[in-house]
Structure formats: C-alpha cells, structure tokens
C-alpha cells in the first residue's frame, strides 16, 4: 500500500468513499495503492454499513491531520467548523487534501489555497460541485486553453427537483417542498437549497476556476425559488421556456474586465440544453473561445457520485506523487491565482426579463405599462393578457435585453399606477 | 519559451491550433510557454489565414519528427499514412505526441502505445473523439475509479445533422445528404460518416479507455444510416423515440468478461438525455458504478473545438514535463493496458428491436407475425398497423429484450410468409 488516506467523516460521502477504496477490483489500478489508514468519526459505536477494521476508527479527528503517516486527508465532514481548521492544519502538516466542502472552499478558499501553495500541497475539490460530474478537472485541465465567456449551471438538485415537479404537476412551491422533505429530497431546514445559497457557493468556485481569479462570496447575487409560482411555470411553458434555478458567471459584454456572478430562477428557452435537465440532475454549461459550447451532465449529489469524485481526486494526487519532482507543484492541479475578480453590480446587468402584473381590468392598462417601460428605454418582446386572478387581470411581459437598473426604475413607476395592483413575479430570462 | 512544438499539418485543425498558440493572453499561463517551432505543410505557397514566420514552415515533415529541438509533435494531418509512420518515428525519437487522428489510433493504437511506453513518452488524443468535448481526459482521470458499465455516444456530427434534418423536415436520407454535401456538413465521399466507420473508430477508442483493454477495430459491428427511412423517423416519433446513430460499448449482462461494441442507428426514448442532442452536436453518455450516469456534450468537430482539445493535451504534457521525475510516466496520462477485450458476437446481443414490415392487406397477418415471433421466444411490446405504402399494409413491431440471434431466426421465417412482401427496416432500440 503506497498512499495512506486519513478520512475525516463517515457519513454518506465518507461511506461511499470507503466502499470504493475497499473494493478496488475493476477500477483504475491506482485505487489498489490507496490504504484507508485512519477514519475520524463522532461516535465509535454507531452502526455502519461499511466494514472497516475497528482500530482505524477514531474520534480524535485532529490526531489524523497531524499524523506523520497520513499522506492525503479526505475531508467529508461538511459544515464550516471544524472542517476549515482541520483542512488548514492538515496543510500545515504537509498533507494533501481532498474535500467535498463547497461551503468552506467558497468562503475560505483564499486562505486555504494560499496555505496549500506555501506548503507545496494540493487541495482538490471535484466533489464540491456537481457531485460526480467531472467539471472541476475539465475546467482546470481541458478547458483552460480557452478564453471562457460564461459558465451557467444547474448545480442544486433539490431546487431542480422541486421546479421539475411544480412543472409536471402544476403544483405550488410550498406543497412540493413539503413532499420533497418527506421523501428526503429536501432538508428539514431547506434554506441553503431553496434560497440559492448552496448554488452561490458552487458558482463562486466554478467562476474562480473558469476565470482564474478569486471570488468574494458576498459579491455573488443570490435569489431563491420560493417566489416562483405555479402560474409562472405555466406561462413560461406556453412562451417556450422552462424555469430553472441557474447559477451564472459571465464576462460582462461591455467591460470584459468585469464578471457578473449570480444565482436566480431563470426562464430558459426550451431549445437550450439546460432546459431539459430535470429532477435531481445537475448540468454545467461552459462557453469559451474557441471551444464554443460544452455541457457536463449527471447526478449532482448522492453517496456514489460524490464518492466517485472524491476518489478521482485522490488518484490524481497519487499519480502526481508517484512521478513528480517533489519540489514542484503540478501547474494544472494546483491553484495559483491570487487576485480577486471584479464583479459588476446587478443594476449594470443587461438581460431579458419576465414580469407578471396583477392589474385592474380597465382599458388602457397595457398602454400605461408600455409607456412606463418606453420612458426608461425598456423594449418589450411580448405583452400578453393571460387571464384573471380573482378580480385582477394578469398581464405577462417579456422584455428584450435591458439594463437591470433601467428596468427596475420602470417597475418603480409602474407600482405607482392606479391600475396596477402588484407585481406578482419578476424573473430573468436566459 | 520552454516547450517546442512541431506541428504536422496546417489544415483546419492545424490552423486552429496555431491560432490558440499565437494568442495566449486570457488562456492558461502554460500556453505562453509553448512555441510553434516548426510547421510541416504540403505546399509553402498556399495562402494561409494564420500569420506564421515563413522560416518555420517546411515541406520536410519527416525532419520535424527527428529534430532534436522538438519536444512535442502535434499530428493533425489526418489519414493513415504518412500519419502513422510519422507518429512512430516521433516516438522513437523521444517526442511526445498529440494527435487528432482517430483512424490511426483505432487501427494502430497497440503498436503506437507499445512504442510510446517503451520510449517513455505520452501519446495524447483528446481531439480524436468528440472534437473539443473533454471526454478522453475524464475517462482516464475522473471516471477511472468507477466500474464502467456502458459508454454510449453520438460521436459523428454529420449523421446526427442528417438525422435531425430528416426528422425536422420529414425528408428522405438521399435528399438531406445531397443538401448537407452542398452546405459542407458532409464530405463529397460521405462513406466514412454515413456508413458509421468514423463512429466505429471513435467507439473503439472510447471502449479501450473505459474498459482498460485494447479493441480490435474489426470486432466493432458497424451499420450506417442509409437504410433509415423518413417513415421510420415518423413512426419512431409517434412511439416516443428519436432515431440516432449510436456508438455503444457495453458490458454484456450475462457475461461481464465480454463487451458488446457496435455502431448502428437506434431508437432512443425521448426522455433519454441523448435523444435531445441535435444537429452537429455530439454527446457521450457514460454509466458506471458508483457514479451512475454522466454525459458530456458539445460540438464534435470544427477548427475551434478540435484545436481546444489539441492544445489542452499539449499543456497537460507540458505540465507533467515541468514537474515530473523524468524516469516515470504519469499513470493517468499514459496508456498501459496490453490485453485485448473480449467482444461478444452480435447474435448474442440482447436488445429491443423495431421492425417495419410491408404486408398484404389480408386478415390474420398480425397473427402470423406474432406466431413466428412467439415460436422463437420473441416477446412483443407493441404491434401497430400504421398505414399503407402503395398496395401494401405497413406493420410496425417493437419487441421486448430479445437475443439478436433468436430475433433474426424469427425474421428468416417471416420472410417466407406469403402475406409478407418485405422487411422495410430493422432497427435496434436503446
């Protein structure tokens, strides 16, 4: 056994990882050279589905990351602490690290990669985004020769599952969420998923790799799916769109030095490859020069897929350790950028919008809306009076590309109109 | 400039490759360390769209692969010879090789990789399959920890373009092919594409990487799309299928030691992610344990995408050369398997079939068909009399899973029936 693994955590992903390492036959021969040397757990007595020699389990997790015998630390504890401190301590003890922890990497990536580079170790994170889908490795290796223009992802399975069921069943957000919680597709506290926070962590990581700069998580605009109504999904369908929670990182057309990085529910044209990514599946769509468009698709979560990503990171480190000149880091596996990307504020975003208004059923309402939009230079692609909600008429508007700031000013004016009861929903269009 | 590139060929892909290397800004920093040192061309006088110093162009291509200054040879000549001989000579002179040449690799891969391993050099081929889509690298690196069960690809853009237009326009194969040739989407001699030979080369390469064994190209069953009629596409649509030319490599369920490797037009259920891959796009769908299903999607040809793949291979070699202990090959970039995979004969294949019969419009025909199938243990999923072709009634049958040999025996018997004029088409179902 050549490489000793210290596994931190034996939950879903940790168990999946151990299962791969314990049954190497039929896999890449390097898997045979990996030894599960220590496993850090909270309780020694908990029944486990995976068979491990009892003497390698320990509750002294800190002892693993400082153990001189350990070559590679695999952090699959989740959460911010003690995960962050353990990763940093492992690095300072010269261990390579594999982590599935998007929350830690998106918040403390700068601290962690700075430490890793100065210690000459690798920190690998394929499992942090898109479960088993190879996307981190391709961004670092295969796509790096391109000038990336945009990364657009469906990177949260829970929200994609909810939106898919809302569409299929014509159901409202609340009832589908409740059922998803019952079925285990959504957490008891669903905030991180449905408010887009999990997707924000992931797009910060993807943007950093795609555009070669660090991203401050607080710069990522984030809007969840709880405001998406069954009516919006139905109208979007009729107009030829699917509604998806997209995580987008994109060069600003008018200023290539700036990025727009954001998470929000989005109308996606049905002919776009992302529109047909349904249920718990994830997909990451990358546009670059000269490659054009490529997409990576698969299950974004679950023990098996995530463990596949973890172990692929481990064998990538092992492969380099077997062949490298130890004084040099492999430039496609390490993470060397140190500047921060410049992020454009949302009001400068240029995009199409979808808006649904509840108005009095009086003549001339569409004209008044049109005037407010026209005054702010907002050009409309379509305006449809779609039906009634109680005593109000529903009007759905889709704009051409418009600066978000201008669109919002028009909405502020529209809100003051007597004929307008409310803006029932407001979504961006890809 | 650290790494000297000898580029063999300055056609579409060669020009695209040179363009990336000549404009490194905004790409991975390693691209700046690549120097186009020599370019081998057939004619020095041909006008070029890419600006290169005239003294690096030469018609003495062989001198490039033996030049002691050259670190990496990039073969984008295409065709079998002199490409094969040049690759082997480059290897014997200690050069690493990047090639886009699926025809050479699928036929002479054993010879080439044996030579490369004994010379301690890399032969990289991301561009040989799927244009710019990263699929070779993920199969070698990210997916290798899985036990792969199947690789299913739409790997030929020309045939996918033709089938997509046949569906969209209800047109026949011949007329769409003629138009595709006019538009440059199909070659003047379209044989390699429409007969599935190009796809066979590619699935042989993918199978070899996915299943860790060599594949004899002559073992790949190959059937093109010229027999697919507009009527079949229309019936398939009604039954909920798209017809795609699939290249499939799959472990045989009943004997995991054997692979089924084949190219043929296939009815793909519309809910399958491959069904919505349209036009010139390619996609490769991989199933493995424990990752489940992942798919890679993008443009399968063209200067930009293919050049992206070529240069990504170059920087992968460059990265290893910068950091490696020169005596050892990186185990995830080199190709070490030496045994041949065992390929199951087609008659042992178990699959679903679609067949369209032209029959006399007499009572009891469906019953007779049913009896012939039943006698051979072929269970039918649906039998529909769909319409008429001149004086004949058309009957479309979709079977449940059946051993191909049994199905063919039933067909032999059906051909002898008085009521049956002909079997107008016969397709497999995914």
Q: Are A296 and A274 in contact (CB under 8 A)?
A: no
Closest partner residue to B138 among A134, A292, A319, by Cβ?
A: A134
Rounded to the nearest 10°, the torsion over CA B59, B60, B61, B63 is -150
**Per-residue pLDDT tens for A314-323?**
999 999 998 8
Chain B residue whose CA is closest to A271: B276
Chain B residue whose CA is closest to A326: B323
pLDDT range class, residue B331, cuts 50, 70, 90: confident
pLDDT at B2 > cutoff 90? no
Supply the pLDDT for residue A215. Answer: 95
For the CA atoms of chain A, what is the radius of gyration? Answer: 24
pLDDT at B1 > cutoff 70? no
Mean per-residue pLDDT for B94-98?
97
* B418, burial (CB in 10 Å: exposed 0-12, middle 13-18, buried 19+): exposed
- Selected residue with higher pLDDT from B202 and B254: B202
Please identify among residues 318-357 of chain A the ones whose CB lies closer than 8 Å to any CB of chain B: 319-320, 322-325, 328-332
pLDDT at A55 > cutoff 80? yes
Say how far apart CA A264 and CA A200 lie, in whole Å: 9
The whole model's pTM is what? 0.96
Task: Tell me, yes or no, if A382 comes closer than 8 A to chain B by beta carbon.
Answer: no
pLDDT at A428 > cutoff 80? yes
Mean per-residue pLDDT for B125-130?
97
Mean pLDDT (chain A) is: 94
- How far B147 CA sits from the closest chain A CA (Å)? 6
pLDDT range class, residue A405, cuts 50, 70, 90: very high
**Per-residue pLDDT tens for A328-368?**
888 888 887 779 999 999 999 999 999 999 999 888 899 99
**Per-residue pLDDT tens for B197-231?**
999 999 999 999 999 999 999 999 999 999 999 99
Please identify among residues 211-240 of chain B the ones whose CB lies closer than 8 Å to any CB of chain A: 212
The half-sphere exposure of A258 on its side-chain side, counting CA atoms within 13 A, is: 14
Say how far apart CA A199 and CA A222 lie, in whole Å: 9
Mean per-residue pLDDT for B351-356?
96
Q: Which residues of A touch B305 (CB under 8 A)?
A: 290-292
Closest partner residue to B27 among A132, A145, A322, by Cβ?
A: A145
Q: What is the DSSP string of B357-399?
A: EEE-S-TTHHHHHHHHHHHTTPPEEEEEEEEEETTEEEEEEEE
Mean per-residue pLDDT for B331-340?
84
Please identify among residues 135-164 of chain B the ones whose CB lies closer than 8 Å to any CB of chain A: 137-138, 141-147
Mean per-residue pLDDT for B341-354?
95
Mean per-residue pLDDT for B159-171?
96
Q: For residue A359, which phi and psi values (nearest 5 degrees)?
A: -130, 160
* Strands of A290-361, DSSP E: 292-299, 342-343, 350-359
Mean per-residue pLDDT for B29-43?
96
**Per-residue pLDDT tens for A67-122?**
999 999 999 999 999 999 999 999 999 999 999 999 999 999 999 999 999 999 99
pLDDT at B324 > cutoff 90? no
Q: With pLDDT > 90 as the criterion, what percentage of chain A qualifies? A: 89
**Per-residue pLDDT tens for A16-35?**
999 999 999 999 999 999 99
Mean per-residue pLDDT for A381-401?
90
Say how far apart CA A391 and CA A376 lie, in whole Å: 29
pLDDT range class, residue A253, cuts 50, 70, 90: confident
- How far B299 CA sits from the closest chain A CA (Å)? 7
| All structural domains of chain B | 3-132+303-337 (3.40.50.720), 136-299 (3.30.360.10), 349-429 (3.30.70.260)
Beta bridge partners of B57: B39
pLDDT at A292 > cutoff 80? yes
Mean per-residue pLDDT for B185-200?
95
Supply the pLDDT for residue A1. Answer: 52
Chain A residue whose CA is closest to B13: A290
Task: Tell me, yes or no, if B420 comes closer than 8 A to chain A by beta carbon.
Answer: no
Mean per-residue pLDDT for A389-398?
90
Q: Is B102 a catalytic residue?
A: no
């Amino acid at each position: 056994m050549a490489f000793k693994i210290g596994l931190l955590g034996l939950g879903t992903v940790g168990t999946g990882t151990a299962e791969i390492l314990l049954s190497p036959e039929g896999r890449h021969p390097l898997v045979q050279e990996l030894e599960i040397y220590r496993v850090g757990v909270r309780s020694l007595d908990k029944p486990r589905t995976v068979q491990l020699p009892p003497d390698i389990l320990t509750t002294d997790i800190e002892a693993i990351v400082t153990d001189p015998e350990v070559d590679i630390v695999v952090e699959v504890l989740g959460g911010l602490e003690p995960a962050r401190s353990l990763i940093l301590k492992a690095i300072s003890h010269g261990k390579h690290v594999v982590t599935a922890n998007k929350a830690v990497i998106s918040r403390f990536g700068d601290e962690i990669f700075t430490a890793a580079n100065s210690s000459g170790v690798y920190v690998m994170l394929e499992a942090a985004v898109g479960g088993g889908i190879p996307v981190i490795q391709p961004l670092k290796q295969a796509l790096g020769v391109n000038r990336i223009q945009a990364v657009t992802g469906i990177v949260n399975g829970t929200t994609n599952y909810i939106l898919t069921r809302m569409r299929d069943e014509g159901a409202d957000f609340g009832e589908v969420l409740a059922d998803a919680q019952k079925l285990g597709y959504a957490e008891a506290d669903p905030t991180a998923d449905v408010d887009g926070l999990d997707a924000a962590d992931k797009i910060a990581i993807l943007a950093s790799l795609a555009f070669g700069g660090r991203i401050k998580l607080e710069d990522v605009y984030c809007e969840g799916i709880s405001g998406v109504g069954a009516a919006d999904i139905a109208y979007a369908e009729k107009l030829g769109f699917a509604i998806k929670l997209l995580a987008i990182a994109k060069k600003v057309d008018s200023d290539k030095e700036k990025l727009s990085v954001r998470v929000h529910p989005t109308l996606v044209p049905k002919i776009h490859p992302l529109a047909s990514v349904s249920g718990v599946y994830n997909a990451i769509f990358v546009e670059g020069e000269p490659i054009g468009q490529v997409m990576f698709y698969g299950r974004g979560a679950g023990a098996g897929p995530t463990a596949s990503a973890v172990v692929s990171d481990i064998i990538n480190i092992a492969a380099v350790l077997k062949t490298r000149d130890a004084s040099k880091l492999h430039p496609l596996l390490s993470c060397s950028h140190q500047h921060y990307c410049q992020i454009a504020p949302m009001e400068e975003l240029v995009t199409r919008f979808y808006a649904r208004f509840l108005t009095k059923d009086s003549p001339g309402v569409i004209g008044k809306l049109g005037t407010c939009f026209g005054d702010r230079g907002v050009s409309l692609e379509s305006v449809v009076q779609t039906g009634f909600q109680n005593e109000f008429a529903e009007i759905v508007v889709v704009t051409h590309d418009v600066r978000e700031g201008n669109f919002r000013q028009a909405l502020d004016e529209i809100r003051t109109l007597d004929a307008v009861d409310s803006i029932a929903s407001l979504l961006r269009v890809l």
